[in-house]
Structure 1
């Protein structure tokens, strides 16, 4: 009996040890938290279908995806050191550089036509120059606000002081539009979709961006973390490059009922038709385009510099930096494009 119990005890101990070893091996991956927002595109589709998770696991990492409601929340998370990678818009990226040594390494989308200047039908506004003396609603310190002011000052040569620019959140814009309190607005979907029922686009961020600097959503990473985790960065950007190349080749097949669109809907909400509409308003640069002068090779630096001047003028930051080149890194996109 003694030997039998002893053997059983030894066997049990061995089983427990084996279990602990297996558990340890299973948790051998390095955890990394990535913050994302409710934006559509190849990036979200690749999160939803597990491509990032598979590549990360192969590289020895386990991703904890965290959805945030705004770029400001992600900026705070980046500053805390808990989130090394996150999605932020171009104006938000500029603001985030105040507290974090980060670098922009991927352009998720060119905002393009998804943000537009819309005039009410019957208002007599046929072109941006007709805004003089009229009321325009826009969310202040947003990419829409930035492009409205850039458009007025640099593109259409209209003094912004001659336009009654009102600070309104998107729902407020829709309500003011329906009451007839504003003649025009610069905003994004779903408010934009509502305004277009009784209005027309007289310019958009694609046109203004082409004539000045574009606005965009991007992925940023803590520089120190990126330098310490090159294997993850390589695997992560490889998936990005493949996802964006796939969308360029097959984006026309992303219909409301298609798997990629339905995966996006499951992850961030909405519906198939609305997601397709939003996708068609954005443009998604490939890895080769990312690394070009248009984007990470120079254009993004100019966009961040202009955004910083804008934020400084709006008293949202103390001052703009002299050079934003250290905050943009095209190396990952270049490597992924090979």
Structure 2
């Protein structure tokens, strides 16, 4: 019901608002609407430092917080954001029927590692979760990883009760004792780990072939209309990764301000992710082609789990990689 209400609200807002893709005298978009999440990667640094506001002075930069990639997909369908952050599983769904969202992937915010995990209250193995209630945000990378973790632990989805909760609601349900376990990401993950036991992380699952990542998605219409603005956005994201590598203290302070964490904890959470700069993003295993294979593999897995009606052709995912846009931003 909550998801349906969110979808209805987004569609209403899109219908009532004027399109953001209007142009200033300088040829820049009049507004750039960004959907972000509270994940300790370079996007929070760009937001905190107001680099986009400086680089695009004629453009209004609007940041809207989302709790999961599923809600970012809803906003994309509604046309209420231009660029957003969504996990690889939501992007797989977004590029598949029935959504078939017209967006591209120009950037990998991070390859997910220990910052997403399955935490239990009393169970010490995945197998011990049989018959228990587990929370995760549906249509997220955490949901995908939970299904993979259950399969790896010898359990079917029907062996447990999976409930759809966003991260803040998961933390509240955990505090009330309503759930036995949850697959979720930081910063809520860190709160659960204070009293629970980590059974498996997304880093563990990646080693078993179930790789997940946080991806940028940009509306194809926006990317085609404003290639220079997209390139500017990409350059700022690269700048953030380089800040993490060159001045970890400053990067951690920026992320900490956005997550309301001290710098030491922010630094620890940043280290749980794999961040890639612009040159590395273009490598064969990433936007050079490997990411498309990963998304297709995720679609096959989700189809096997009856979470997709059909598996799109590999070409669908290859065409969704904004390879030329990324290369153009770092051609100099």
TM over 0.5, shorter chain: yes
Q: Is the 8 A contact 2:48 2:255 kept in 1?
A: no
Change (3 A) 1:293 1:160: farther
User: 2:108 aligns to what?
Assistant: 107
Number of aligned residue pairs: give it: 299
> 1: CA distance between counterparts of 2:140 and 2:146?
10
> Is the aligned partner of 1:76 residue 2:77?
no
User: 2:20 aligns to what?
Assistant: none
Cα deviations by residue, 1:246-275 (Å, 9 ceiling, x for unpaired)? 2122225544xx3x245x42xxx5333554
User: 2:6 aligns to what?
Assistant: none
- Residue 56 of structure 2 aligns to a residue in which SS? helix
Aligned-pair distance for 1:103? Answer: 0.8
User: 2:261 aligns to what?
Assistant: 271
The counterpart of 2:321, out of the listed 309, 328, 336, is 328
Unaligned ranges ≥5, structure 1: 1-24
> Is the aligned partner of 1:218 residue 2:208?
no
Aligned-pair distance for 1:147? Answer: 0.9
Cα deviations by residue, 1:179-238 (Å, 9 ceiling, x for unpaired)? 767654322234422332233323201121232132222211222432332222222212
Q: Is the 8 A contact 1:136 1:163 kept in 2?
A: no
Unaligned ranges ≥5, structure 2: 1-23
Q: Is the 8 A contact 1:137 1:173 kept in 2?
A: no
Q: Is the 8 A contact 1:237 1:333 kept in 2?
A: yes
> 1: CA distance between counterparts of 2:29 and 2:329?
22
Summarize the alignment of residues 96-245 of structure 1 with structure 2, pairs less than 5 Å apart.
96-97=94-95, 98-120=99-121, 123=123, 125=124, 127-128=125-126, 130-131=127-128, 133=130, 135=132, 137-139=134-136, 140-153=138-151, 156=152, 158-160=154-156, 163-169=159-165, 170=167, 184-245=181-242
User: 1:11 aligns to what?
Assistant: none
User: 2:31 aligns to what?
Assistant: 32
Aligned-pair distance for 1:108? Answer: 1.0
> 2: CA distance between counterparts of 1:281 and 1:136?
27
TM-score (normalised: structure 2): 0.75
> 1: CA distance between counterparts of 2:225 and 2:172?
49
Q: Is the 8 A contact 1:290 1:330 kept in 2?
A: no
TM-score (normalised: structure 1): 0.74
> 2: CA distance between counterparts of 1:192 and 1:162?
24
Larger-Rg structure:
1
Q: Is the 8 A contact 1:111 1:206 kept in 2?
A: yes
Deviates more, 1:45-54 or 1:156-165: 156-165
> 1: CA distance between counterparts of 2:323 and 2:133?
37
User: 1:89 aligns to what?
Assistant: 87
RMSD, aligned α-carbons: 3.3
> 2: CA distance between counterparts of 1:185 and 1:222?
32
